[in-house]
């Protein structure tokens, strides 16, 4: 992942004490007990800026439970994207630092990485980023929890809001120094099974909610339109 010195993306949230945040979340992991009694499976997380595969499952404001309040701006969007994944899609780059967890049926957290995960993807969804394979208990998981510690977005071209071209850094407005997003997945991993978890950041959709005067977008819109697909 390129550093912020190598491009002009604007940080949507400052990196806080990640180890304090991580340790706080991992308190629940100790409650997992002997989950490995059912065997060991494997998971890889793939992140896309805008994946057609996940477009149909994009989260709406009245759908899945989340850790941020639903935003009226989502309901105001004409659809998941005005570009049809063809011409005139927003072009640019998104970089993020995050923590990833699976939530078991009893509410315990299982980390999908030992450290913070850094991803760098294009807004068009041409390139994807992925984590290393992660061994984890074969079990039933109800949710994927994403803790965004830092988000940087840079639009190069292709974004027009109300007839106004918008380029440059986009600020995702956060009320705190991190953004926690929880997505129901209904995943069951068997012994020796390998699964791939696709996180579609759905950039073409939430970029339609950018305020062209301030180049900002509400964090609830960004969070609600993230989609997750198990494949």
Q: Is residue 138 part of a domain?
A: yes
Question: Could you read off the pLDDT of 122-158 as tens digits, one per residue?
Answer: 999 998 999 989 999 999 999 999 999 999 999 999 9
Residue 34 has what pLDDT? 56
Phi-psi category of 30—alpha, beta or left, where left has phi over 0 and alpha has psi -120 to 50?
A: alpha
Question: Could you read off the pLDDT of 76-114 as tens digits, one per residue?
Answer: 454 444 443 445 789 999 999 999 999 999 999 999 999
CA 134/CA 45 separation, integer angstroms: 9
Q: Find the mean pLDDT for residues 115-127.
A: 95
Question: Could you read off the pLDDT of 16-40 as tens digits, one per residue?
Answer: 344 444 444 443 333 444 555 679 9
Host domain of residue 77: 42-230
Confidence band (pLDDT; 50, 70, 90) for 10? very low
CA 94/CA 217 separation, integer angstroms: 14
Q: Is 132 helix (H, G, I), strand (E, B) or coil?
A: coil
Q: Is residue 184 part of a domain?
A: yes
Q: Is residue 66 part of a domain?
A: yes
Residue 174 has what pLDDT? 80
Q: Is residue 10 part of a domain?
A: no
Q: Is residue 204 part of a domain?
A: yes
Number of domains composing the chain: 1
Q: Is residue 23 part of a domain?
A: no
Tell me the pTM: 0.77
């Amino acid at each position: 992942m390129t550093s912020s010195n190598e491009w002009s993306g604007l940080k949507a949230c400052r990196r806080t004490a990640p180890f304090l945040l991580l340790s706080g979340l991992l308190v629940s992991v100790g409650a997992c007990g002997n989950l490995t009694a059912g065997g060991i499976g494997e998971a890889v997380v793939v992140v896309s800026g805008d994946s057609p595969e996940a477009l149909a499952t994009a989260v709406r404001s009245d759908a899945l439970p989340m850790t941020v309040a639903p935003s009226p701006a989502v309901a105001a969007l004409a659809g998941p994207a005005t570009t049809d994944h063809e011409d005139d899609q927003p072009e640019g780059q998104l970089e993020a630092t995050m923590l990833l967890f699976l939530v078991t049926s009893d509410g315990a957290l299982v980390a999908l990485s030992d450290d913070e995960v850094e991803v760098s993807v294009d807004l068009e969804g041409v390139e994807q980023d992925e984590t290393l394979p992660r061994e984890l208990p074969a079990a039933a998981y109800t949710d994927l929890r994403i803790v965004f510690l830092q988000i940087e977005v840079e639009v190069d071209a292709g974004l027009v809001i109300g007839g106004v071209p918008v380029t440059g850094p986009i600020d995702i407005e956060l009320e705190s120094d991190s953004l926690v997003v929880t997505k129901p997945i209904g995943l069951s991993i068997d012994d020796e099974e390998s699964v791939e978890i696709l996180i579609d950041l759905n950039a073409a959709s939430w970029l339609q909610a950018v305020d062209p005067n301030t180049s900002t977008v509400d964090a609830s819109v960004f969070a609600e339109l993230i989609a997750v697909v198990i494949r």
